[in-house]
Chain A
């Protein structure tokens, strides 16, 4: 057995002293190399070549309790094999029941069933034995399940199937051994019905299982991205080790064509990395020293070394898997309501069966017992709480998975449902509509000034500032290889700009207002500034010793696909508003370029959440799109918060939806997928409700007085098996859904 790390959950530890005791117990197990107990988490990490059960047994023998704590790297293949084995066993059970039922059904159809006399009784006795065998072999699990549920004061599908088929078989058996119990016209036997129902239900369950497997394909694909081994560099040697053994800050080698094992930062070499599988970003990204790489993504061209910064459950991929899994398991409000109904459904059906019995027994026509049995049994068989219970979760499962395929991570079912109800999308400008990386776009020096001189002084005064625009100016100076001078007496004038002394000169750098306050003569610079602002650039004036030196214009480039994504939002009838802290002219120019009609400019970061609230007060369902850090309050305030990520920023706390691709197309995709999913849930619920609310009364014989129609219990069994399958198949249709105008 190979060396491996096992995580155990330890019970029964009451004090820190137990830690040493449990560690001793574990270390005494042959094959254990190391055991460390964490008292706070009540867990133990054990390394060594030893099976989990041996460890658990040792801990239990020592007076404590233990269970294995599983990580996120579940063996998908193992699960698939187990599912397939179960599918095969269901098919086999259906086949065995079908082989017994089919000839009987044929005889019944051709009306050649022997009568219950003489040799006919012997035939029926054989049928009774054969059907009993089927009941035990193919339907045994329904009976055990029903009994166990009953003991726990619970009733489920098994209860209905076991009662329905059990009553049919028992009644038939009683008639067989004691025919005079009922009048001759009531002496119908239902052995074949019981067997056929069991065949159909097993077949339905098998088909449902196959269909269900497809609903979780998205998560299977994500799990499949996880790498099993990594090439670590230890003491100068490169060795392949299982992924679980990669430590934090270890150096790993990635060769061309290989998948990156864990998250990290490149420390040597460069390459192009395809991150499409995680972020949905179609183009490979160039990666250099200092750039982040994400586990599970594909290294295309170069070979490089990187230092592991996140391993195990902390990697972006593991967190994405966990988040998708959690979201797939969560339920929106619509599902919770249905759960309440599903929870009491079976006992209510049992009561309806009793009432059906009473009605037919007291006011039904002769042969009473035959009618009583037929209707009661059919009511039990036709009712299908599973279709009802399955309607919501199965669609959520597919919907959340579909969104993940488009690089959209949805936190839970509630967010998925709400995203489709959004009427107004509020976009933060910087980093959302634009790249969020401002750069110097224009230098307009006054007479007697050069571009170089203008930039040197502007960069010198801004070198101490942390403002993003300041960073852009300093970066521009660095790119040109200009050397800066120290700024003295630096003073930030809020909302206006900065003031300082550079090389003994008094320097002012900021907006028009700052210049006006100091009565700086700007000559023709304001006209140039207006032209720049109209293009979406932010002009800043520089004045040295009371004289205007020129304009430094900075702009944040608009993302290439923002315009198309915003057009998509308008097309689906959504009102788009852009929020910006920038001046009105610049914000309006950006809005114009991307086609946004409504702009709210000069908004302080702290006021963004109030602006969202104001829109909500007008009755709008607001989806706020911004970065997860600066816009957190606004994201939290909005009905749906969309956080723009950059591939690795998954699970942003304040966001309902994380757009890993960083593209606004994700918002339109999320809304379209949400609408499609909710529509799918409604179709499922409608089908399940209609099925049960029509099926049960018809089974109870409501159509009999008027039309003489009674449902055959076998038809009821078939319908029941089909109802769950219909719901699963309908949910599977969602897999084929493609949001209109989507990029991928």
Chain B
């Protein structure tokens, strides 16, 4: 009986991993057209990591790096060919767009810190 329960739990866990990391849509932080979107980099993540912005206006982002790990020193927007150096303890601004609707992923160089900018 215990064996069956443990097996079932492990399979549910595997299913949960697949659902959580691949299939479920992360919560998007909605930003208004003119706002500066403040993204804080701390403890290995971007907060907010997933941002939704309306199309037609430039996107204004401000990255505040509080994370001293060297992994956090750069943020790359691969599809947009943008790479920013982020000095520790400072806010670094970025203005892009207006962007074509779609999803623009951003990450650290090693793809461990990850986020997305959804233009819709």
Contact = CB atoms under 8 A, between A and B. Distances in A.
Nearest to A78: B87
Given A67-B91, A342-B110, A355-B14, A144 B43 contact: yes
A389 B68 CA distance: 19
Given A67-B93, A79-B87, A148-B44, A153 B81 contact: no
A719 interface: no
Interface in A113-155: 141, 144-146, 148-150, 152-155
What is the interface of chain A mostly: helix, strand, loop, or mixed? Answer: helix
A152 B110 CA distance: 17
A326 interface: yes
A329 B60 contact: no
Contacts of B36: 9-12, 65-67
Contact of A330 (B11, B35, B45, B81): B81
A339 B111 contact: yes
B44 A389 contact: no
Contact of A343 (B11, B68, B76, B111): B111
B110 A158 contact: no
Contacts of B13: 354
Contacts of A86: 68-70, 88
Contacts of B89: 82
Nearest to A389: B110
Interface string B59-81: 01010000011110010101001
B110 to A, nearest CB: 3
A12 B13 CA distance: 44
Contacts of A69: 93
Nearest to B108: A389
Contacts of B68: 82-83, 85-86, 89
A591 B82 CA distance: 42
Nearest to A81: B88
B85 to A, nearest CB: 6
B88 A156 contact: no
A662 interface: no
Nearest to A145: B44
Interface in A401-434: 412
B47 interface: yes
A153 B70 contact: no
A68 B62 CA distance: 8
Interface residues of A, number: 69
Nearest to A325: B85
B14 A68 contact: no
B74 A12 contact: no
Contact of B78 (A14, A339, A344): A339
B118 interface: no
A158 B69 CA distance: 12
B14 A329 contact: no
A412 B91 CA distance: 25
Interface in B68-120: 68-71, 74, 76, 78, 81, 83-85, 87-93, 95, 107, 109-115
A357 B10 contact: yes
A245 B120 CA distance: 42
Contacts of A146: 44
Contacts of B44: 141, 144-146, 148-149, 156-158
B17 A347 contact: yes
Contacts of A330: 81, 83
B111 A42 contact: no
B49 interface: yes
A75 to B, nearest CB: 8
B3 to A, nearest CB: 7
Given A154-B45, A350-B17, A361-B10, A11 B35 contact: yes
A42 B22 contact: no
Contacts of B88: 79, 82-83, 86
Contact of A390 (B6, B107, B110): B110
Tell me which of B38, B68, B112 has the highest count of chain A C-beta atoms within 10 A of its own C-beta.
Answer: B112
A357 B68 CA distance: 35
B95 A358 contact: no
- Considering residues A83, A325, A354, A388, which has the most beta carbons from chain B within 10 angstroms of its beta carbon? A354
A344 B20 CA distance: 12
Nearest to B86: A70
A385 B83 CA distance: 21
A347 B24 CA distance: 14
B58 interface: yes
Contact of B49 (A42, A152, A412): A152
Contacts of A325: 83, 85
B56 interface: no
Interface in A341-384: 342-347, 350-351, 354-355, 357-358, 361-362
B18 interface: yes
A66 B60 CA distance: 10
Q: Which 6 A-B pairs have the closest CB atoms?
A: A389-B110, A329-B83, A11-B36, A145-B44, A67-B62, A86-B68
Interface of B: 3, 6-7, 10-11, 13-14, 17-18, 20-22, 24, 26, 33-36, 38, 42-47, 49-50, 58, 60, 62, 68-71, 74, 76, 78, 81, 83-85, 87-93, 95, 107, 109-115
19 contacts: A11-B35, A65-B35, A67-B36, A70-B93, A83-B68, A86-B69, A86-B88, A89-B68, A152-B47, A153-B20, A153-B26, A154-B21, A330-B83, A331-B78, A342-B110, A342-B111, A343-B107, A354-B14, A393-B109
